[in-house]
Amino acid sequence: MKPDIVIADFSGTLEAQGFLSCLDGKGLPFRRVGMEDVEGTGCYCDPEAESEIRRRLEPFRAVRIRWIDSGDYHYVTKILAEFQEEPFVLVLIDNHPDDQEPAFGGDVLSCGSWVKAMREGNPFLEEVWTLGPDRRIRNASGTVDRELEEGIEDLVAALKGHRVYLSVDKDVLRWEESRTDWSQGNYSLRQIKGWLEPLLKGQEIVAVDLCGELSPAKGATPEDLRINLNTNIDLQEFILSCLN
């Protein structure tokens, strides 16, 4: 059976949570792709590491639900999106825009510069919409900048007829429902699902990826892992229900 879910595992945190066991128990086909041995990946990704990550994920280019570990590895979205061979729009739900200048030059991809790298290097990327930072909704072309709560219907309308790649960083969620290693927003899971539902149901979704874990190596407690597991299960089931 082909996997419906792929997990790019850099830190082992999803296994530590029990998320993999939960997927297995529910009979959801998934494939874990180990990345722990790839050097040069923490927050910054050098060209050799980027090439190796791409090589390992290429067999799963058609899998629509992708879990990509903590926000330290959000740049994997850029790598996964390069498997698209038709025009698409990126919709990013995040507490940070991830559209900065690279800190160490153009050859080094980072968790803060990957959106800029996508905009400048992916010929099929039509537009980037960002939801979350400063409680705003914006597009990269600079024609839209408004209160997030007022803009979802306009976004859904703007996306009609476009193929959509949806990327979610759980650092947009409040502390009670998500434990990450980055500064967090204060949205509830219920609010995030309220944004996701019209996006997932009303568009041609080519892929959904999710990040925002907190690993034991970075200090995650059993309580942190429990909270993240519950949120991950909720999001996984919700996304599947909307896509099916």
Q: Tell me: the pLDDT tens digits for 105-135? A: 667 888 889 999 999 999 999 999 999 988 8
Using CA atoms, how far apart are residues 49 and 162, in angstroms rounded to an integer?
A: 31
Confidence of residue 103 (pLDDT cuts 50, 70, 90): low
Please report the pLDDT score of residue 1 as a whole number: 55
Q: Is the dihedral of CA 200, 131, 9, 124 positive or negative?
A: positive
Going by pLDDT thresholds of 50, 70 and 90, the confidence category of residue 185 is very high
Cα distance from N-terminal residue to C-terminal residue, the chain: 17
Q: What is the DSSP letter of 146?
A: E
Q: For the chain, which domains are there? A: 5-243 (3.40.800.10)
In this prediction, residue 147 carries a pLDDT of: 85
Helices (H), the chain: 13-17, 19-25, 47-57, 76-81, 114-121, 148-159, 189-202, 222-243
Q: What percent of the chain has pLDDT over 90?
A: 78
Q: Work out the mean pLDDT of the chain and round it to a whole number.
A: 93
Mean pLDDT of 55-79: 97
Taking residues 192-196, what's their average pLDDT?
Answer: 94
Q: What is the average per-residue pLDDT within 179-200?
A: 94
pLDDT band of 205, cuts 50, 70, 90: very high
pLDDT higher than threshold 90 for residue 177? yes
